[in-house]
Homo-oligomer: A and B are copies of this chain.
Amino acid sequence: MRKQIDIVTIMPEVLEKLTKLGLLLGSGTNCNPMTIGWGSYGIMWNKPVFTIMIRPVRHSFTLLEQHGEFTINVPSDDMRKEIGICGSQSGRDTDKLAECRFTTENSSTISVPAIKECPIHLECRIIFKNDVIAGSLPKEVIDLYYPHADLHRFYYGEILGAWREE
């Protein structure tokens, strides 16, 4: 059973998990999961928005470009192993859902499902995207994160629904 929750009230819990463990980005109609440790939660254009940063080399990048939607799945604290799998393998050659023994559940507002085993889900539709421009960043950030110029794309997802598994 899942219950709709307030998008603003849930912000702290999502951000706390982002900083302490990571979140699982789901993309594509099969919900290919990818661990993310960076992201931002806020209000833009009067809408609740979750912003993610994805490199073009990722399988998730292709799926995001194809479908324009994603889910944010907030893991429970005992999912460290799954966070490791989804952060180190690619959905191109691995069925990460199967490897994590995750099952999916249809979303209410978008075509990308959510991970049923994760206690909180956000359903997001991309309303804006923009690219990191190397020239605008401090040199130490470029040296550390972009030695191969594989610059992130920002995806701004309007949060259309938030749910808690109960």
A residues neighboring B (CB under 8 Å): 8, 11-12, 15-16, 18-19, 37-46, 49, 51, 53, 127-133, 136-138, 141, 144-145, 154
Contacts and interface: CB of A to CB of B under 8 A. Distances in A.
A8 B8 CA distance: 16
Nearest to A36: B43
A121 to B, nearest CB: 18
A46 B38 contact: yes
A105 to B, nearest CB: 26
Contact of A12 (B15, B127, B154): B15
22 contacts: A11-B15, A11-B16, A12-B12, A15-B42, A18-B43, A37-B43, A38-B44, A38-B46, A39-B42, A40-B44, A41-B41, A41-B42, A45-B144, A45-B145, A51-B51, A127-B137, A127-B141, A128-B132, A128-B136, A128-B137, A130-B130, A130-B136
